[in-house]
Amino acid sequence: MLSEKIQKALNEQLNAELYSAYLYLSMRAWFESKNLKGFANWMNIQTQEETMHALKFFSFITERGGRVKLEQIKGPETEWKSPLAIFEAGYKHEQYVTSRINDLVNIAIEEKDHATNSFLQWFVNEQVEEEANSDGVVQQLKLVESTPGGMFMLDKELGRRVFTPPVQTKE
């Protein structure tokens, strides 16, 4: 059974994950409007990953006897100056999500909720990957930002990314 404090924090994170999906979908829409299909694909994969993260929180809350409480999702930003600005915003957002996950781990430890702490370790590791992926594209964009051919090649490369859901295991 989840404590009230943990249940509230997990529901807030569920909402934050849905917001993340919404944000990446908005970024995808911007790239689609600029005919940057590869960049749009990258953001589509991010949208799918964030939706999957939200569903993991949803399932965990219910499996622990908690009550999911869906709240309104804040509208995301819709305009950016450039692909670099979008990926810098995405990287900053992933750093924010990492801080939220770390705060959740601290709450789980404080509440002596070992099951929640164990569940959250997947997200701790996932955030390392999320930050590295976003920052990697930021660094590539900085290298090619004044080279239209480089931007075209990077768009093609990002178009090859595919969504691979993690294998679900019951422990």
Span 17-71, pLDDT tens digits: 999 999 999 999 999 999 999 999 999 999 999 999 999 999 999 999 999 999 9
CA distance readout (Å), 122 to 99, 134, 150, 154: 15, 18, 35, 30
The pLDDT tens digits for 128-164 are 999 999 999 999 999 998 888 999 999 999 999 898 8
What is the residue-averaged pLDDT of the chain? 95
Distance CA 21, CA 76 (A): 10
What does pTM read for this prediction? 0.93
Domain spans, the chain? 4-158
What is the model's pLDDT at position 147? 87
Contact 56, 106 (CB under 8 A): no
pLDDT for 137: 97
Token pair for 39: 């960049």
Query: How far is 20 from 3, CA to CA, in rounded Å?
Result: 25
- What the block records as the tokens of 141 is 């964009």
Go through the chain and tell me how many residues it has: 171
- Topology (CATH level 3) of domain 4-158: Ferritin (1.20.1260)
Q: What phi and psi, each to the nearest 5 degrees, are found at residue 92?
A: -60, -40
Q: Please give the DSSP secondary-structure letter assigned to residue 86.
A: H
pLDDT for position 133 = 96
Helices 4-33 & 37-63, crossing angle to 10 degrees? 170
